[in-house]
Amino acid sequence: MRFFLVLLVAFISANQLLGQNCNSILLGEVVDFHDNTPLVNATINITGENLNATSDTSGKFRFELLCDGVIELEISHPDCKSQFVTMTIEGDTYQKIRLEHHLEELEEVKVIGDIKNNTNSSQEEKLSIQDIEKYSGNSLGDALKSITGVSSLNTGANIVKPVIQGLNGSRVLILNNNVRMQDMEWGEEHAPNIDINSNQNISVIKGAAALEYGGDAIGGVIVLDPLPIVRADSLFGKTQLNLFSNGRGGNITTTLVKSFDTGLYIKGQGSFKRLGDLETPNYLLSNTGLQENGISINIGKRDFIQGWEGYYSFFDSDIGILRASHIGNIDDLITSINSQQPNIINDFSYDIIRPNQEVSHHLAKLNYYRRFEGLGKLSLQYDFQNNRRLEYDVRVGDDAAKPSLDLRLTTHTFSSTFQLDSYEGLEVKIGTLGRFQSNFANPDTGVRRLIPDYDKFELGLFTLAEYDLGESLKLDAGVRYDFTQVDAKKFYRTSRWEERNYDQEFGNLVIDDLGTQLLVNPVFEYHNISAMAGFQYALKHDQILRFNYAFAQRAPNPSELFSDGLHHSAARIELGDLRIKSESSSKISASFERNGDKWGFALAPYFNAINDFILLEPNSVEFTIRGAFPVWAYRQTDAQLIGIDVSLYNNWTSHIRTDHQFSWVRGTDVSQDIPLINIPAANMNNSISYSNASWKDLTITLESQYVFEQERFPPNITVFSPQQQQDVALDINTPPPAYHLLALDMTTQFSLIKKNDLSVGLRATNLMNTDYRDYLNRLRYFVDDLGRNISLRLIYNY
């Protein structure tokens, strides 16, 4: 009986096989996803079968004598990611297959060396991973100074603001994970609220060429992004520990990433930093300690067709302000400038006392993108920021624990971009932006509010285009419109209102007259246009010529408009001006670059003419119940900045390399024919490195920095000294002498669990313990700059 059952099953199976159609034909076509152009020489394999075909000049392929049923195709093409397609054969069948041929857009498979510039024609430089690790225990501003043409405006060693080709503050835009930072960047003593360890892809775009990010970036744009996460099933991370001799502290940062081959990923990062009092070569700097905490988390899914990401970061800092910089009157300032050391030197401490700053910053974003066949890519983003700033003065009595400044800035932004890339060689990007910002100045401080409550509305529209004219020439151009409305409510002393002739020009703004005070409601609107055009031309395979012209307009920030009172952390009275209007910049920049294996260089001159340039400068002294303080007032003028950035490297042997950088910028107030204030002095950086991969990847680098004396500065002012009862010259603008610093850096690799998973570095800055003061350090009136600092860094990759 079993024998007959076996024969029956075999008979039925044979009939099914005999009845199956194995004469079907598969006609296929392989095209580019973006523009439907045919892809030649694509390889098509039927998995599990020894059958393959190649697409012809029209992208078509053909299989014959196929049996009906389900099959799987593997399609591959040079510079494309292989794709698997499951399909059903039912008689003669046609299948169109779309591949992503623009591999540079697949960020999940990028390597760091292949990440393209944000623009073609502008001057742009990037920090290497090694540089970011080297400065992991420092600030963003410290790290960026290793880029040619970037310097910093400091308030001591812990508050560092980037300066790009002579410009800083609101003219320098910082983009953190595709979110424009809103952290009261207008203050000279307001450092960016960013943990450098949360981003390892950092670049600087010099000038306003990157219109996508904002039309008001007259100085430039700093772009910080995390490294692309590989689309694979993996778990990896890194922990870095830095220890410092100067400040007797350090920091630790850890990153952990879990990714999946489906495109899903989650990343967490955290940092902690603690320093005590810093020191110069000759004395301690009392109350210069620092404590910082930072966390961030990314979660998202990245696929070719669509993807999304959620991101949150929190950054908190408590920064001590040099105790000796707290002056009570103008005579204290005169004494400090004429003295060679601070009037307060205490024993070393980790305590942070008054005066100090406490700043916290929350940032959250949601991002979604989707690609459309034969058209392009749509991106939508919402981001939220909350910045809280508390500045504490040295006070007595019931108000001793109260902050002198208490500001809360809340920002909501929605943006969208559509990238059209369906035409060969042409890419067009169109974008919109809407932003609402609200500032709350807590009145319960016992101090007149420096910045008032205000609401700010912004609308931006832009379009950019990049066009490749063959392999050698690339063009880019763009235009942007920005609308800004500021709606503020502010109390003015009636005497100040009349002193500045506001009663004649802005009498209609008064909404309440309280006798000695006026409540006013300024509502200002600004319509700004920005545009740029440029080209990139490849002279040879390793030589590139770039040229860019950018016109940009920047609306005044609230500090420039409304400042009115004693800024305690700056120990000066600051006065804004309601008459201030948008400033307009016309910048021409060019660069000639050679990037060879043996040697290379970059030569980058620029000229920037800024109409209605807004500057803050000392002009008088004012007496208050606290004493006499210098008055720094905002005004507008026409200005010009001309400069050049030069870099050169040479690989002398397989082990020895030298690097050289030189930057020079000249700033002039052309309306008054005097130099601009706070323009960086010319500086030169040189280094020589020895590396040997066979000696545990040993690298030793000797660095030299020479900063010239700034010989162009505005005139000093004459003030009345209550102590001396006469007018005296206040030497507030005169720069300090030139200085020369040496640094030594050593790194090596060790293998613990896997190859080279432990990196050890040793770095010494101000190696010779040199006494010096920097022109762009606001504490140079009171103390020398930092002395020698020896740091140890340990990096473990797992």
From the list 308, 241, 233, 235, the residue with the least C-alpha distance to 268 is 235
- For residue 556, the SS3 value is coil
Length of the chain: 798
List helix spans (H) across 637-737: none
Do 262 and 277 contact (CB within 8 A), yes or no? no
pLDDT for 775 beyond 50? yes
CA distances from 672 to 291, 655, 666 (A): 44, 53, 15
Mean pLDDT of 743-748: 98
Task: Give the burial string for 599-622 (b: 16+ CB within 10 Å, else e).
Answer: ebbbebbbebbbbbbbbbbbeebe
What was the pLDDT predicted at 466? Answer: 95
DSSP string, 263-328: SEEEEEEEEEEEE--EE-SSSEETT--EEEEEEEEEEEEE-SSEEEEEEEEEEEEEEE--GGG--S
DSSP state of 16: H
Helix (H) or strand (E) holding 496: helix 494-499
CA angle (755 as vertex; 754, 761 as ends), nearest 5: 110
- For residue 492, the SS3 value is strand
What is the Rg, in whole angstroms, of the alpha carbon atoms belonging to the chain? 31
Amino acid 150 reads V
From the list 43, 114, 52, the residue with the least C-alpha distance to 83 is 43
From the list 29, 20, 21, 23, the residue with the least C-alpha distance to 94 is 29
Mean pLDDT of 589-607: 96
pLDDT band at 33, cuts 50/70/90?
confident
CA dihedral 202, 302, 270, 182 (to 10 degrees): 60
Neighbours of 223 (CB within 10 A): 22
Distance, CA of 206 to CA of 125 (rounded, Å): 9
Helix (H) or strand (E) holding 130: helix 129-134
CA angle (577 as vertex; 576, 583 as ends), nearest 5: 100
What was the pLDDT predicted at 101? Answer: 62
Amino acid 259 reads S
Q: Say if strands 739-750 and 683-692 run parallel, antiparallel, or are unpaired.
A: unpaired
Give residues with Cβ within 8 angstroms of 12, minimum separation 6: none
User: Per mean pLDDT, which range of 106-115, 145-154, 312-321, 649-658 is the poorest?
Assistant: 106-115
Number of helices followed by number of strands (H, E) in the chain: 7, 45
Neighbours of 174 (CB within 10 A): 22
Strand segments (E) across 165-282: 172-176, 179-180, 201-206, 220-225, 234-244, 249-259, 264-275, 278-279
What was the pLDDT predicted at 220? Answer: 96
Q: How far is CA 712 from the centre of its chain?
A: 29
Neighbours of 647 (CB within 10 A): 20
pLDDT band at 2, cuts 50/70/90?
very low
- For residue 26, the SS3 value is strand
pLDDT for 414 beyond 50? yes
DSSP state of 461: E
Q: Which of the two residues, 166 and 57, has the higher pLDDT score?
A: 166
What was the pLDDT predicted at 714? Answer: 96
Q: Which of the two residues, 57 and 777, has the higher pLDDT score?
A: 777
Which tens digit of pLDDT belongs to each residue from 634-652? 999 999 999 999 999 999 9
User: Per mean pLDDT, which range of 31-35, 77-81, 218-222, 263-267 is the poorest?
Assistant: 77-81
Residue 136 has φ and ψ, to the nearest 5°, of -55, -35
What was the pLDDT predicted at 79? Answer: 65
Which tens digit of pLDDT belongs to each residue from 273-296? 999 999 999 999 999 999 999 999
From the list 688, 557, 693, the residue with the least C-alpha distance to 187 is 557
Mean pLDDT of 553-569: 88
CA end-to-end span of the chain: 65
pLDDT for 339 beyond 90? no
Quick one: tokens of 573?
A: 């009275």
User: Per mean pLDDT, which range of 205-209, 327-331, 543-547, 701-705 is the poorest?
Assistant: 327-331
Mean pLDDT of 360-388: 95
pLDDT for 459 beyond 70? yes
Report the percent of the chain where pLDDT is more than 70: 94
Distance, CA of 667 to CA of 641 (rounded, Å): 4
Distance, CA of 95 to CA of 386 (rounded, Å): 52
List helix spans (H) across 682-732: none
CA angle (568 as vertex; 564, 573 as ends), nearest 5: 35
Quick one: tokens of 361?
A: 């910053």
Helix (H) or strand (E) holding 612: strand 599-624
Distance, CA of 697 to CA of 692 (rounded, Å): 6
What was the pLDDT predicted at 113? Answer: 41
Do 260 and 248 contact (CB within 8 A), yes or no? no
CA angle (697 as vertex; 693, 702 as ends), nearest 5: 105
Distance, CA of 203 to CA of 144 (rounded, Å): 9
Over the chain, what is the mean pLDDT? 91
Do 407 and 361 contact (CB within 8 A), yes or no? no
Distance, CA of 720 to CA of 574 (rounded, Å): 19
What was the pLDDT predicted at 315? Answer: 98
From the list 360, 379, 365, 318, the residue with the least C-alpha distance to 107 is 379
Which tens digit of pLDDT belongs to each residue from 600-627? 999 999 999 999 999 999 988 777 766 6
Mean pLDDT of 526-549: 94
Do 632 and 574 contact (CB within 8 A), yes or no? yes
pLDDT for 110 beyond 80? no
Do 181 and 226 contact (CB within 8 A), yes or no? no
pLDDT band at 193, cuts 50/70/90?
very high
Mean pLDDT of 198-225: 92
Do 570 and 782 contact (CB within 8 A), yes or no? no
Mean pLDDT of 520-532: 97
Distance, CA of 558 to CA of 634 (rounded, Å): 12
User: Per mean pLDDT, which range of 57-71, 402-416, 552-566, 584-598 is the poorest?
Assistant: 57-71
Distance, CA of 63 to CA of 71 (rounded, Å): 12
Note if the bond before 78 is cis, omega within 30 degrees: no
Report the percent of the chain where pLDDT is more than 90: 71
Do 211 and 165 contact (CB within 8 A), yes or no? no
pLDDT band at 324, cuts 50/70/90?
confident
- For residue 507, the SS3 value is helix
Which tens digit of pLDDT belongs to each residue from 481-512? 999 999 999 999 999 999 999 999 999 999 99
Handedness of CA 610, 611, 612, 617 (dihedral sign): positive
Quick one: tokens of 529?
A: 């246009």
What was the pLDDT predicted at 628? Answer: 65
Helix (H) or strand (E) holding 338: helix 330-338
What was the pLDDT predicted at 102? Answer: 52
The pTM assigned to this predicted structure is 0.89
pLDDT for 393 beyond 50? yes
Which tens digit of pLDDT belongs to each residue from 646-703? 999 999 999 999 999 999 999 999 999 999 999 999 999 999 999 999 999 999 999 9
Neighbours of 413 (CB within 10 A): 20
